Structure formats: structure tokens, C-alpha cells
Copies of this chain bind each other. A is one copy, B any other.
Amino acid sequence: MKTRVFVTLKTGVLDPQGKAIHHALEGLGFTGVNDVRQGKLIELDLADGTSAADIEAMCNKLLANTVIENFRIEPVSS
């Protein structure tokens, strides 16, 4: 059972990595970029019986820092 977890910074939290990408894109001549935010994508390959509550616990305890980050869990249909 495959599951994807998307971890993104909350709005209002500074994102220096995103700023650096934005700056580099402009340096390469790409115009029309208003904003860039970088997040994390974590692909989990789980045993079939893993419950949604377990996956949420993994996110809260380890995968995301819920003070500054949001997470979204998305099952992957195989």
C-alpha cells in the first residue's frame, strides 16, 4: 500500500529555500514567477493493514513539524 505525504510550510513562515529557487529562476531568465515555496514529498510503502490514524500519527510525531508545517496525506492507487 503506497501513500504520499506532502509537507508544506504554513503561510506566513519564511521560506529561504523557496526564495533561493525564485532568485535562481530569475537569474536564468524566467520571467513571470511570482512566488516559489518548497515543501517535502514523502512516499511511504506500508503494510496493507496500516490505518489512516497510524499514518496521521507518523506525520504528527516525525514527518512534519506541526508548529510551522502542514501535511496532507494522499493514498496512491496502484
The interface on chain A, measured as residues whose beta carbon lies within 8 A of the other chain's beta carbons, has a size of 34
One of B8, B41, B58, B63 near A6 (C-beta < 8 A): B41
* A19-31 near B? 1/0 per residue, CB < 8 Å: 0010011001011
Contact status B21-A63, CB under 8 Å: yes
Contact status A44-B36, CB under 8 Å: yes
A33-B46, A41-B40 known; A58-B8 Cβ under 8 A:
no
Q: A34-B45, A37-B43, A39-B40 are in contact. List 13 more A-B contacts (CB 8 A).
A: A18-B42, A18-B43, A21-B62, A25-B62, A32-B46, A32-B47, A33-B44, A33-B46, A35-B44, A35-B45, A36-B43, A38-B41, A40-B40
